[in-house]
Structure 1
């Protein structure tokens, strides 16, 4: 695929950058550590040191780079923004086009690519095939850092991604997202309800307005609302407060120190993985975790990725429903409030799991694949019945 605005892309991190990463990790000045406090003071230094040593001595970036380059990648110029994306076409010509949208700090979709694009090879009905478009959001990874105020806003991202799907020639398509993607995917439906046939979300961020009193909520939703009301005072909100107020202050340290980047990102990840997991790499593959952190490191985009929190205007906004059929998967760590989700979306499917976390494509890919397949099969059946 080559047009004036879309060019093929291949990841090629210079070996000198890999060597520099390893040197910096080896030269880390480690702080002291209290014993017996676990994660109550933040991420344990001993755990960060273990991950850093593995990253420096065992993790093979070039092998993972080659694996990622096995999927077709492109760079698009959309409204002056560079957008990196994977475009994996199913062998089934009748497959449904589907955009998968990540959040912060990342979501690795590689475990769901093959089952979604080639279901027959994975024991599923070939009618459940998808053509996949996996964009990297503005300010993240190989899309590169943003240079204008507001370019990481989720509303802005939705506009850009809608234009990307037009550029790719997809007249009708689905959208799926979690975290920030759970704002962007529904917004695609508001922008282009005639094009978006369905929206699927995992753990949507249902942020209540400041005066939300929970009237008419179920008891379960009231409990979640109370927990969210306490969120601003909870340890899990501390990172978001800094990102939304002082991303530029945090950026130099995380851009200069891979151990600092590792500690910050993995501590946030730990707050949102499966509650039954003892550590982040107990919830997801360690190498997959380090691939995503490596991308932030090599592209120097940790600072611009954090601007998402300061620039996005969707947080707590009163969002109208697009009317587009929407399915939701809520995993054990998610705190999605159904009553709020139903105000903002046309919910036709809601599934709750007693396990899993916020990073479903990395933690519970099989369950997510099943949910996506079944949701879009239902959407297509409903359309056929109407016609």
Structure 2
């Protein structure tokens, strides 16, 4: 290991006082009578959540929980990277890199740390914050550039000649790029999604199941995809409001979460009310919502300027499809990765590691210990 600096999270009281003042002084826009969540995040719900945030949510307790596991910062190719690094207790722990997405953070994997570092089939867990998110450097980088940083972090900074990797959402893209560009250092990869049809596929090469999936995705983008279109086109315009108003930040993140979970299980889908707010707090105290959404634009620019499509990887891949995620067929996954395990899970959604940690940890352990 080289160039590691111990990191301990400690948010100044002035930041927390400012947060409470902003929450108390929220200018509520009003909502159409009886609209519920049909126009976006429910104001009725959000007011109740903000009241809890002000009066009952205990950041000091959450901060202590986040500091429970070792964290570091290091320089990787000139970029400051924050990451958790927890050694497994087994004799032959496997090195496993876990990459989060949006609108979550490294906290996505908090509940599975203890589950994956205990016992004989344990892992050395490396859980970084993507640049522009959380406590890493506040700069937006494209997905393939992040994959390059992760390769250097694992092989040079931490000294693992070969490792395993898993991710969903943006973390899926990073993990897929790792396997495609650096197969020599990847022993296995795991995904909860593999990407979506974007209208560029040749219909003649698609199975009926893939065509049905493409139709579902097209309908989903029309009804729920506004967030990604905004992030990919006008992230700076959006960022002013989200960085200035914690209520607005919560509303935007909740709106995305509601796309994959009905209102009655929305908090459960994020792992619980406190977990939901802790995730939002990480964006707020670091002021990284702007750089996090900017990543979509940076990725879009890379595609517009002729970035070559990633080649299909031969690295062994496991895929777990949770029921509240888009239900893609196995053959769709096989277009991009070398699928050796494909499972339809019984419960969970986009943030499965927070919502059903036991199930998610069992799936990762089962897959990664089934391959060399």
TM-score clears 0.5? yes
- Quick check: 2:95–2:124 contact (8 Å CA) kept in 1? yes
How far 1:211 moved relative to its partner?
3.1
Matched, 1:300 2:296: no
Q: In 1, distance between residues paired with 2:260 and 2:337?
A: 24
How far 1:165 moved relative to its partner?
0.3
- Quick check: 2:268–2:355 contact (8 Å CA) kept in 1? no
Matched, 1:14 2:12: yes
Query: What is the aligned counterpart of 2:322 among 312, 315, 331?
Result: 331
Matched, 1:237 2:228: no
Aligned equivalent of 1:247: 235
Aligned equivalent of 1:208: 197
Q: In 1, distance between residues paired with 2:218 and 2:18?
A: 44
Q: In 2, distance between residues paired with 1:197 and 1:327?
A: 12
Q: In 2, distance between residues paired with 1:333 and 1:340?
A: 18
Query: What is the aligned counterpart of 2:266 among 246, 259, 280?
Result: 280
How far 1:64 moved relative to its partner?
0.8
Aligned equivalent of 1:46: 44
Q: In 1, distance between residues paired with 2:136 and 2:177?
A: 20
Query: What is the aligned counterpart of 2:363 among 365, 371, 382?
Result: 371
Could you say what secondary structure the match of 1:185 adopts? Answer: helix
Q: In 1, distance between residues paired with 2:146 and 2:47?
A: 36
Query: What is the aligned counterpart of 1:135 among 110, 119, 128?
Result: 128
How far 1:337 moved relative to its partner?
4.6
Q: In 2, distance between residues paired with 1:279 and 1:198?
A: 33
Matched, 1:71 2:69: yes
Aligned equivalent of 2:165: 175
Could you say what secondary structure the match of 1:244 adopts? Answer: helix
Could you say what secondary structure the match of 1:197 adopts? Answer: strand
Runs of at least 4 residues of structure 1 off by over 3 A? 213-220, 313-318
Query: What is the aligned counterpart of 1:357 among 349, 354, 368?
Result: 349
- Quick check: 1:328–1:350 contact (8 Å CA) kept in 2? yes
Could you say what secondary structure the match of 2:127 adopts? Answer: strand
How many residues are aligned here?
A: 363
The worse-fitting range, judged by mean Cα deviation, of 261-270 and 350-359 is 350-359
- Quick check: 1:209–1:318 contact (8 Å CA) kept in 2? no
- Quick check: 2:79–2:137 contact (8 Å CA) kept in 1? no
How far 1:229 moved relative to its partner?
2.4
Structure 1 68/300 Cα, relative in aligned 2: closer, same or farther at 3 Å?
same
Could you say what secondary structure the match of 2:264 adopts? Answer: coil
- Quick check: 1:320–1:343 contact (8 Å CA) kept in 2? no
Structure 2: stretches of 5+ with no match in the other structure: none
Aligned equivalent of 1:384: none
Structure 1: stretches of 5+ with no match in the other structure: 121-125, 381-387
Q: In 1, distance between residues paired with 2:256 and 2:244?
A: 19
Structure 1 33/317 Cα, relative in aligned 2: closer, same or farther at 3 Å?
farther
Could you say what secondary structure the match of 1:42 adopts? Answer: coil
Aligned equivalent of 2:332: 340
Matched, 1:187 2:213: no
How far 1:321 moved relative to its partner?
1.5
Deviations 1:343-374 (A, max 9, x none): 11100011112431111111221111111111
Aligned equivalent of 1:157: 146
Could you say what secondary structure the match of 2:113 adopts? Answer: helix
Aligned equivalent of 2:111: 111
Q: In 2, distance between residues paired with 1:246 and 1:67?
A: 35
How far 1:250 moved relative to its partner?
0.7
Aligned equivalent of 2:35: 37
- Quick check: 1:144–1:301 contact (8 Å CA) kept in 2? no
Q: In 2, distance between residues paired with 1:255 and 1:93?
A: 45
